[in-house]
Structure 1
């Protein structure tokens, strides 16, 4: 009687297939019990969170992070109404009232008149720079509105803001009709805004 390894019914000895791990051994490419997966390899299984750099699993749509659309990209910008624009202009006029008063009062005092004139010029230049770079003068900031390009929602720039100031003479033609135009215009634009492709929007 032989006591060798058991044979199968066809007389072939039972041996594990060469190159195949037996029961209880970790599968090739999978970490064994108590072992950690190599760094850079995503964990296996369902329901694991997605990480940057890993391919999206089929059937699980990847969630994105939306950003508010800017004017010119299909979004409807929140146009400032005529009342907001008017009040913003009124605040800007009140800001200029103090140096202008110095000019009026200083008619008999050349030094005081010079101070008032310099203050007016400096304030006008500062307001123009602020409007060109940020889209807001003192009055626009107080009313929560901003002057931007219609194409991309960015500030006009100092040069274009100056051109828009000059284009306001169109608004004064025909009994100041251009200043009233935002009251019924679809984009709340004056004639100067239409010429310069600018809009005034609400910031909050």
Structure 2
């Protein structure tokens, strides 16, 4: 088993911070687009937006952007802000596009039931959520005096 003393796993609270940054950035892009499509009445009234444009803007666009960031930078802007990146759990290399797609879809699995798959990051020794386990990835950053050294392999 390869062990890296250069990196550490990124834990639950740092990943929550990264996700909050990403959520704000996504909303800054998506809300004006939805506003231009549906108008202020429907957005402000809380009416459920439906139709192909909502699916495109609210689901497909964010998925495409996130997976593109993962492929280009191994991180979203939020993860970059905390110095984290996503790597293959076995090798430490850049994940494949298949792993990134599985990881993204795994977020939906991780939120059911009661976000347990996301909370799992705080419990797991390698700080993997269910989406990471499904995709075979881990989130790491340069070591800042963290606890557990990163181990690549099974």
- TM-score, normalised by the number of residues in structure 2: 0.71
After superposition, where does 1:28-177 map in structure 2 within 5 Å? Answer: 73-75=2-4, 77-106=7-36, 107-108=38-39, 124-177=63-116
What 5-or-longer segments of structure 1 have no aligned partner?
1-71
Aligned partners of 1:99 and 1:120 also within 8 Å: no
Gap change, CA 1:174 and 1:121, over 3 Å in 2: closer
Name structure 2 gaps, 5 residues minimum. Answer: 41-52, 144-154
Shift of 1:120: 8.2
| Map of 2:148 onto structure 1 | none
**Distance (Å, rounded) in 1 between the aligned partners of 2:59 and 2:107:** 19
Shift in Å at residue 124 of structure 1?
A: 4.4
- Quote the Cα distance in structure 2 between the aligned partners of 1:101 and 1:139: 19
Q: Distance in 1 between matches of 2:110 and 2:92?
A: 23
| Structure with higher helix content | 2
Which secondary structure does the structure 2 equivalent of 1:78 belong to? strand
- Contact 2:70 2:76 (8 Å CA) reproduced: yes
Partner Cα distance (2:4, 2:115) in 1: 31
- Counterpart CA distance in 1 for 2:131 and 2:73 is 19
Secondary structure of residue in 2 paired with 1:147: strand
Report if the CA contact (8 A) 2:102-2:134 is conserved: no
Separation in structure 1 between the aligned mates of residue 58 and residue 115 of structure 2, nearest angstrom: 28
Mark the CA change 1:171 to 1:83 in structure 2 (over 3 Å): closer, same or farther: same
Number of equivalenced pairs: 127
- How far apart are 1:197 and its partner, in Å? 1.3
Q: TM-score, normalised by structure 1?
A: 0.55
Q: Distance in 1 between matches of 2:69 and 2:34?
A: 27
Identify the residue that residue 138 of structure 2 maps to in structure 1: 199
